[in-house]
Structure 1
């Protein structure tokens, strides 16, 4: 029987390192926003590793990478290194970082309420958005699945997008939202940052569809929250900097033929 893996004890004074693909916002953007809002320094290999950025990501994903004595192998980026700790999966990283950066309570019911809200937002505005342009397989080019992407986008625009916006609106209308524009507890949390990025990206990918839903007035609080996050001093500064990657061929892509009012 193999010995138990050693437990990692993170050093909170250690630097944070985000390992992600260069040139796209992608899922890594959801993590960057936490660091930027909190004003906490971090090393972003997508920006600092130059030509080694892609090999670094691929090295972690390699079938030959078996992790180490304290960390199991990871599946894919984004990956977070903090001291001796190495973790992946976007919601896992967010759940780890948010309490440390003052964007969620460290324990108690509120942490799990926030996590369920974030997981639902990621399902709708990351997972399902990605499936609109890659409904069959991620390994195939978009051009190889355009008819299926058109059908998937019709369902997303007409059924799924309104459903997820409606859910977020219900969260904002609930007593647990508290005062102000925020999703939970009357103050900004990491869930609000995640929602901003997801709304911003989906609006880029489906400007006509999102514009029509915005104009309907049914989801005013959702878009008000997104605007409020965008005006946060640290976020506003970040959005205007070269640290913010432009949308391209990541999760949120603009294919005009998929965007329907």
Structure 2
């Protein structure tokens, strides 16, 4: 049986970093929907650890979880950022719903989200941990610099160019949004990725923005930032600061080519 729509939402994520959980928070904040966030609870990290520990075998409905973010809604527990957003999008008015004229549109919203997370989140993380996530950054600084140079000169422009092309497409519709002429969770994901890259590679991103080759992408970024609920959230203490998560500030990696 699906969870009741009145069931509370709980985001289960690590404290002290925005991380991948931030994409889920932005969806809740934009929709004005109440949620509990273990990252802001005392000893919330223990909830994360208990969910992913080797002794947790899930239950009759839910398989064991691999890693956060995790979302609990009633008795249902799911993980993977894009999977959570695929579930929440129609419920929060941030993606087409079953029965809508463009009900298939959720597939496009999902693929745009996956592309953004691939190229503007996962690849960014690899810039400071190109050899192994279990090694310290200090153990792979030379390789990190080489990876970062390639990323900002080749990969970042490639992904920005793709989203610029999407925003110029007929399927984008009117306004600054990626699909269907209205804001979806894919826009929130792209915003968060660009915001994180601005923290990690400010010089490189400014150079790309100043080129004016990606004007529509940065227009979308500014439009999301000015959404009333998002704007209030970004200036609140609920918005966690970047630190040692996906997006990290290492000045020696902030190269422009």
How high is the TM-score relative to the length of structure 2? 0.97
Paired with 2:136 and 2:52, the residues of 1 have a C-alpha distance of 21
Pairing of 1:43-192 with structure 2 (within 5 A): 43-47=36-40, 49-50=41-42, 52-107=43-98, 108-192=103-187
1:26 aligns with 2:19: yes
User: Within the alignment, does 1:11 sit opposite 2:4 as a pair?
Assistant: yes
> How far off its partner does 1:148 sit?
1.1
Question: Which SS does the other structure have where 1:140 is aligned?
Answer: coil
After superposition, where does 1:233-248 map in structure 2 within 5 Å? Answer: 233-248=228-243
Match of residue 206 from structure 2: 211
* C-alpha deviation, 1:12, in angstroms: 1.3
Structure 1 gaps, min length 5: 1-7
* C-alpha distance in 1 between matches for 2:211 and 2:129: 29
8 A contact 2:13–2:69 mirrored in 1: yes
What does residue 37 of structure 1 align with? 30
CA-atom RMSD, angstroms?
0.8
* Number of aligned residue pairs: 252
Corresponding residue SS for 2:131: coil
4+ runs deviating over 6 angstroms:
none
Using the alignment, how far apart are the partners of 1:70 and 1:59 within structure 2?
17
Partner of 1:3: none
Deviation at 1:119, TM superposition (A): 0.4
Per the alignment, in what secondary structure is the counterpart of residue 150 of structure 1? helix
Q: Deviations over 1:13-40 (max 9, x none)?
A: 1000000011111101000000000000
Partners of 1:224 and 1:80 lie apart in 2 by: 31
Aligned-partner Cα distance in 2 for 1:17–1:203: 29
Taking structure 1 as the reference length, what is the TM-score of the superposition? 0.95
C-alpha separation in 2, matches of 1:103 and 1:9: 20
- CA deviation string 1:150-172 (max 9, x = no partner): 11111101100000000000000
| Partners of 2:38 and 2:45 within 8 A in 1 | no
Instruction: Report how far residue 145 of structure 1 moved.
Output: 1.0
Q: Which runs of 5+ in 2 are unaligned?
A: none
| Kept in 1: contact 2:10–2:73 (CA 8 A) | yes
- Rounded Cα–Cα distance in structure 1 between residues aligned with 2:175 and 2:182: 7
C-alpha distance in 2 between matches for 1:76 and 1:106? 28
CA distance in 2, matches of 1:63, 1:158: 41
